[in-house]
Amino acid sequence: MLEKTLVDSIKQNHSLTQAQQLALGKFIDKGFPTSKWEEWKYASLKHLNEFNWLWSPETLSVNFPKPDWKHSAIIQTLNGNTHSEGALPQGIALLSVSEFMAQNPTFESVWNARNPILDQNSLYDLNEALATDYAVLWVKKGVKIAEPLLHHYFVLGQQDTAVQSKIFIYLEEDSEITWFEQQRSESSHAILSNYVQDIWVSKNAHITLIKDQDLGQNITHVDHTFIFQQESSLVDAFTFSINAGYIRNNLHFYIDGPQVVSNLNGLYIPGEGQLMDTHSVVDHRMPHSESNELYKGVLMGNATGVFNGKIFVRPDAQKTNAFQSCKNVLASDRATMNTKPQLEIWADDVKCSHGTTTGQLSDEALFYMQSRGISKATAQTLLLLAFVQQVIDKLGHDEIRAELSDKIVNKIQASLGLTI
Amino acid sequence: MLSVKNLHARIGEKEILKGINLEVRAGEVHAIMGPNGSGKSTLASVLAGRTDYEVVEGSVDFLGKDLLELAPEERAAEGLFLAFQYPVEIPGVSTTNFMKSAINEIRTYRGQDPMDAVQFLKMFKEKMAYVNIDQSLLSRALNEGFSGGEKKRNEIFQMAVLEPKLAILDETDSGLDIDALRIVAEGVNKLKTPQNATILVTHYQRLLDYIIPDFVHVLYKGKIVKSGNKDLALELEERGYDWIISALD
Ligand SMILES: Nc1ncnc2c1ncn2[C@@H]1O[C@H](COP(=O)(O)OP(=O)(O)OP(=O)(O)O)[C@@H](O)[C@H]1O
Ligand SMILES: [Mg+2]
C-alpha cells in the first residue's frame, strides 16, 4: 500500500537521480521502523502506514511572528523549501547544494567520505530519496556573527502530508554563528515531518545550535542532525523538545579532529499523548577531544520518553574525555521513561563517565511546601522548574533563554493542571 | 482556637494516635512532652494535613472550621504552621522564592492582592532581624546542605514571615547551640500576641525556661495521659516518665 502510493506519486512528480532511486529502494525494502527494530523499540512508526500520504507537499504561505530582539537574519524552511527573508549578513550565503558543490569542487569527495552511522534509519533514506536540491547555508572563513540567525522551520498541510526537509550548514575555518531554530506546525491533519540537518564545522569554527521544538499534537517529527567537527572546533547544541505528538531526535556528533569540544544539552517535557525520543551518538574518532552531554526530562500525563546515548571512542581517540548525564522525573504515575546509555571504548587512555536516573518528586518535599501554603500544583511546578533550570541556564543568550523559559513554565503548568 | 476531640489516627494497620483531646485558646502556650515514639510528631503531622496518616475517629476544629476537611495548603492559609522536626530539603528552590510563593498563594486564598517585590523585600529584612538569619542562607536552595541548627533557625524564620495564628514547633530546640536556642526562643516570644497560640513539642525543660508554657501535657502511647502547668515539666526533668507510666499500668 505504502509502496504503491509512494512510487505512483514519485513517478508523477519527480524524476529521480540514481542515488535517489537507490535510497528509495532502501526505504521501500525496510519500510517505517517498528518496535521490532532495536533502535526504535519504544518509538515505533508503524502507524504511519495507515495514512494515505500526500508525498509532494503543497507550497503554502505562513505568517511567522518576528522576535522583538536583535537577530542577524531570518531563514525559513517551509514544507521543505528554504529561503531567506530579506538580506543575509556579509560573508553568509544561502544557495542550493548543487551550486555549493560546483563552487567547492574539492569538498565533494571529503563530504562523501564523512561516513555517518545510518543503521536502522529508513527515514534518512526516505529523506534522501525525496529531498531534492536542498539549501546550504555557507558561512565564510573568519566570519563571526554575534546576533542569532533565526531559522523558522515550518510544516503545514491541508491533508495528511509527508514533508521531507533538508538543510546543510557549512562553517569555514574560524567562523562563528548562533543558529536558533524554531520548529512549528499548523495543520489539523497528520504530518510526517522528516528533517535532515547536516552541519560541517571546520577548524576553529564555533556554532551554537538551539532547537526549540514546539509542534502540534498530530505531528510526527523525526529530526536527524549530523554534526561533523574538525580540529579545534566547538559546538554548543541545545535541544528543547516542548510539544509534538511524536519527536525522535537523532543527534550525531562525529569528532574528526583533535581539540574538539562537543556540548550536548537537552530538555524534553512531553505531556499527555506525547512521545519524545532522543538517540544521541558521539563518535570520538580522533584524540584529545571532549564531549559533555547533559539531558533532563520531565514526563507528565501518559507521556513516553526515551533516551539512548551512544558514545564511541575509536582506537585512535586517545586522551578523550566523554561525559554523559541523563536525569528524569516522572511527574505522573502514567508516564514512562526508557533510558539506555551505551558506551563502546576501544582506546585505553580515556576518561568516560555516565549516569542516568529516573525518579519521582518527593512526597516529603511536596508536603513540606504545602504546609507553607503552596498548592500542590505550584509545589510540583516549583520543584520541576528547579530541576530543569540547569539546562536552561546554559543558554548564553538572554532573550532566547527568557523566551524558552516562559514556554517551558507554561507547558509544565498546563500539563500539571490537566493531570491533577 | 484549636479543639481536638478523641482523635484516632493510623498509618497502614498501625494505630498511632488513640484518642487525643486537646483545647488550645488564643494567647496560650502549650508544651507537649513524652517519650520517643509516643506520637508527638504524628499528632503534629495529622494537624498539618499529612495524608500518609488516616484519621479513623474524632474531630478537629480550628477557628470554627473542620480542619480535617482542609488540604495542607488551606490549613496554612487559615493560619496553621508546623515547624518540622526534620525540615525537608527542597532542591533548587531558595528560601526567598519559596516564601514569595507561599506568601502570595496565602494572600490569594485570603482575597488579598499579591505583595510586590519592594514590600516583600522590606518585610523579609524585618523578619531576618527577628531570628538573626543571614541573607546568604536565604538565597541557597532551601535546607540543602544546611546544618541542623540552620534548618531549625530557618523554620522559625518562615514562621516569622507567615505570622501564623497557631504555630506547632516540633522539637525546634533539638540540635540548637545555646545561643541559637536563645535566639529561637526570643523569636517565638517576640511573635507572641494575645491573638495567637503556640504548641511546643520538646524533650527538654531548657526551652521552657525561655518560653513559659501555660500548660504541659504528657503524650504516651498515643494518648495524653497527664496535663499540668509549668511545674509538671520541672518534675519530668527531675523524675523522668516512669512514675507517670507506672501509675497507668
Ligand atoms: N510512616 C510510618 N510507618 C510506620 N510507623 C510509623 C510511621 N511514622 C511513625 N510511625 C511510628 O509511630 C510512632 C510514633 O512516632 P512519632 O514520630 O509520632 O513519635 P514522637 O513522639 O514524635 O517521637 P520522637 O520523640 O522520637 O520524635 C512510632 O512508633 C513510629 O515508629
Ligand atoms: Mg517526633
In DSSP terms, which residues pair with B227 in a beta bridge?
B217
Q: How far apart are CA A296 and CA A338, in angstroms?
A: 13
Query: With contact defined as beta carbons under 8 Å apart, do A94 and A136 qualify?
Result: yes
pLDDT on residue B248: 78
Kindly report the CA angle at A190 between A184 and A193, in degrees rounded to 5? 50
pLDDT on residue B192: 87
- What does pTM read for this prediction? 0.90
Q: How far apart are CA B184 and CA B156, in angstroms?
A: 7
Q: Which residue's C-alpha comes closest to atom 5 of ligand 1?
A: B11
Cell 518562615 belongs to residue: B158
pLDDT on residue A14: 66
Of the bound ligands, which one is closest to the alpha carbon of residue B85?
2
Residue of A276, A285, A340, A272 whose CA lies nearest to A308: A340
Contacts of B98 in chain A (CB under 8 A): 369, 372, 374, 382
In DSSP terms, which residues pair with A338 in a beta bridge?
A306
Cell 506568601 belongs to residue: B103
Contact B71 A374 (CB under 8 A): no
Is A333 touching B (CB cutoff 8 A)?
no
CB pairs under 8 A between A and B: 79
Other CB atoms within 10 A of residue A305 CB: 28
CA torsion angle for A381, A384, A389, A395 (degrees, to 10)?
Answer: -90
Query: With contact defined as beta carbons under 8 Å apart, do B84 and B170 qualify?
Result: yes
CA torsion angle for B118, B124, B130, B135 (degrees, to 10)?
Answer: -120
pLDDT on residue B101: 93
* Interacting residues of A58 by C-beta distance below 8 A, sequence separation 6+: A79, A157, A158, A161
Classify residue B31 as left (phi > 0), alpha (psi -120 to 50) or beta. beta
List per-block mean pLDDT (blocks of 10 residues) for chain A, which spans 420 residues.
71 77 91 95 94 88 86 95 94 96 94 91 94 93 97 95 97 98 96 98 98 98 98 98 98 98 98 97 98 98 97 96 97 96 95 96 95 93 94 95 95 75
Residue of A267, A345, A360 whose CA lies nearest to A311: A345
pLDDT on residue B134: 86
Contact B73 A373 (CB under 8 A): yes
Grid cell for residue A249:
531526535
Contact B73 A370 (CB under 8 A): yes
Contact A382 B101 (CB under 8 A): yes
Q: How far apart are CA B82 and CA B159, in angstroms?
A: 8
Contact B71 A370 (CB under 8 A): yes
pLDDT on residue B184: 82
Q: How far apart are CA A382 and CA A255, in angstroms?
A: 38
pLDDT on residue A420: 39
pLDDT on residue B179: 84
Contact A369 B109 (CB under 8 A): no
Query: With contact defined as beta carbons under 8 Å apart, do A66 and A74 qualify?
Result: yes
Report the atom number in ligand 1 closest to the C-alpha of B38: 21
Which chain A residue's Cα is nearest to B155?
A372
Query: CB-hemisphere CA count at 13 Å for A268?
Result: 28
pLDDT on residue A419: 45
Other CB atoms within 10 A of residue B7 CB: 23
Of the bound ligands, which one is closest to the alpha carbon of residue B33?
1
pLDDT on residue B133: 86
Cell 524524476 belongs to residue: A15
Contacts of A369 in chain B (CB under 8 A): 90, 98, 102
Q: How far apart are CA A19 and CA B52, in angstroms?
A: 64
Grid cell for residue B144:
540543602
Contacts of B158 in chain A (CB under 8 A): 372
Contacts of B82 in chain A (CB under 8 A): 371
Grid cell for residue B221:
502511647
Q: Which residues line ligand 1 (CB under 6 A)?
A: B 11, 14, 16, 34, 36-42, 52, 85
Residue of A352, A270, A351, A273 whose CA lies nearest to A309: A352
| Amino acid at position A384, single letter | L
Mutate to test the interface with A, among B67, B70, B86, B93 (most CBs of A within 10 A): B93
Q: How far apart are CA B36 and CA B45, in angstroms?
A: 16
To the nearest 10 degrees (0 to 180), the angle between helices A18-30 and A2-13 is: 160
Question: What is the distance in angstroms between the CA of the first residue and the CA of the last residue of chain A?
Answer: 43
What is the sign of the dihedral through the CA atoms of B45, B50, B52 and B54? Answer: positive
* Interacting residues of A192 by C-beta distance below 8 A, sequence separation 6+: A48, A51, A53, A161, A162, A163, A220, A222
Mutate to test the interface with B, among A327, A371, A391, A393 (most CBs of B within 10 A): A371
Kindly report the CA angle at B145 between B139 and B146, in degrees rounded to 5? 70
List per-block mean pLDDT (blocks of 10 residues) for chain B, which spans 249 residues.
96 94 95 94 96 94 96 96 95 92 94 92 90 88 92 92 95 86 85 92 89 93 92 87 82
Query: With contact defined as beta carbons under 8 Å apart, do A239 and A249 qualify?
Result: yes
3-class DSSP state of A293: strand
Alpha carbon of A330 to those of A240, A246, A296, A303, A397: distances in Å?
A: 18, 18, 11, 9, 29
pLDDT in tens, B85-115: 999 999 999 999 999 999 999 999 999 999 9
Grid cell for residue A124:
534518512
Which chain A residue's Cα is nearest to B82?
A371
